[in-house]
Amino acid sequence: MWPAAKGWSALPERADGALATVTPPSGGPGPVAAEEHHTEHRRLLVGELVVRRVSYRSVVRVAWPFFLALYASVLAVGLAAWNVAAVLGWSPGDEDLDGGEVFWTALGAGVVVVPLSVAASLGLAALYNTVSEHTGGLQVAVVSPRRSRRQHLAG
């Protein structure tokens, strides 16, 4: 279980970089010096989280910008490829293509593809919610940024 849910709270670091103290939930023993029990403090900064349901609103809030950015990237790459091919001597007239018509068709396809992708994301979220009711959800290890920053600096 995540330490905050148990009532534990860590005080900020001191000026010398050491952790000040760890305060247990009310009713427990007094503050413990973090330097003396460094392994216990590290244990408090790591937890496990079980994701049992995914909010449809959060899926939509992430999916819209993601698929819009993905589509804009694909459109930009297509435009760049078209221009590189034109510089290298390819003529769209040889293939009976009109550049403006191709661009507007691709733009119109985005009006259909992006909402369908968001709808597919919602469908997958609904599927996940249904499956997690029976399996118990997805277990995720949570590591405090403070601990991973120290590991990054040490490594």
Q: Judge if 145 and 131 occupy the same domain.
A: no
pLDDT digits (tens, 9 = 90+) for 62-74: 999 999 999 999 9
Confidence bin at 144 (pLDDT 50/70/90): low
Residues 154, 92: Cα–Cα separation, whole Å: 56
Q: Judge if 30 and 68 occupy the same domain.
A: no
pLDDT digits (tens, 9 = 90+) for 10-24: 444 445 545 444 444
Residues 45, 67: Cα–Cα separation, whole Å: 34
Parent domain of 44:
3-50+139-154
Q: Judge if 111 and 72 occupy the same domain.
A: yes
Q: Judge if 70 and 130 occupy the same domain.
A: yes
- Tokens read off for 75: 């459109």
The domain tally of the chain equals 2
pLDDT digits (tens, 9 = 90+) for 49-65: 888 899 999 999 999 99
Q: Judge if 21 and 69 occupy the same domain.
A: no
- Tokens read off for 120: 């597919």
Q: Which residue has better confidence, 37 or 154?
A: 154
Kindly report the pTM of this predicted structure: 0.58
Q: Judge if 73 and 93 occupy the same domain.
A: yes
- Give the residue among 108, 103, 98 at the shortest CA–CA distance from 76: 103
Q: Judge if 41 and 65 occupy the same domain.
A: no
Q: Judge if 105 and 90 occupy the same domain.
A: yes
Residue 110, φ and ψ in degrees, nearest 5: -65, -30
Neighbours of 66 (CB within 10 A): 14
